[in-house]
Amino acid sequence: MSNHSQDPLLLDHEYDGIRELDNKLPRWWVWLFYITIIFSAIYLAYYHVVKAGPLSAGEYTAEMKLGNELKSAAMGKFEAGIPALQPAADPVVLEGGRQIYTKFCAPCHRADGGGLVGPNLTDDYWIHGSKYADTVTVIWNGVPAKGMITWKSTLKPDEIQAVASYLYTLRGAKLATPGKPPENQTPVKTAPSGFE
């Protein structure tokens, strides 16, 4: 023991030269400690005994439910409005549509819309109708049995409107390489421009 152990608060143990003073804990600290104990008791009773409030998992489920309701309401609204939709002419929307087309649609419909696995989208022959609303509907619902994907689960309504509008601009396009010939489509002869 060193000889400077005069301090009455100094305890008589020492570890590697570290010694301890027996100071009283500050009152504010002690109260803070009591408050945390009281808080934990209330918390435990509220959330786990009485189960008065939702836990994180419950809050998550509730928010997801609300989110899904909002989403299906928005989807329902869009779907109901399809027959009245007009193709967008805004270059920004069309550029967005072109990017979506290149990313998601070109693998099956060819970069220029000439058709590969999927039919030619630049000619006058339509399996599902030549109206703009027909195009939106077929993109929205897809034709799963024939290999055309249901895009409503991947793309947002705005994106579907954008890509459909872009497709509209491809109608009657002069292709560098000939497009896919019509298969069994009922020929719906529509002029390259001024479609219904």
Q: Which residues contact ligand HEC (rule: CB under 6 A)?
A: 104-105, 107-109, 117-119, 121, 126-128, 135, 138-139, 143, 146-149, 151, 163, 167, 185
CA 79 – CA 150 distance, rounded (Å): 13
> Among 117, 116, 111, 127, which residue's Cα sits nearest to residue 173?
111
Nearest distance from C-beta of residue 133 to ligand HEC, angstroms: 11
> Among 154, 168, 178, which residue's Cα sits nearest to residue 103?
154
Nearest distance from C-beta of residue 84 to ligand HEC, angstroms: 18
> Smaller CB distance to ligand HEC: residue 10 or 129?
129
Nearest distance from C-beta of residue 104 to ligand HEC, angstroms: 4
Say if CB 109 and CB 171 are below 8 A apart.
Answer: no
Nearest distance from C-beta of residue 108 to ligand HEC, angstroms: 3
> Smaller CB distance to ligand HEC: residue 47 or 185?
185
CA 133 – CA 135 distance, rounded (Å): 5
Say if CB 161 and CB 136 are below 8 A apart.
Answer: yes
> Smaller CB distance to ligand HEC: residue 119 or 157?
119
Structure tokens at 65: 């439910």
> Smaller CB distance to ligand HEC: residue 47 or 99?
99
Structure tokens at 47: 């959330």
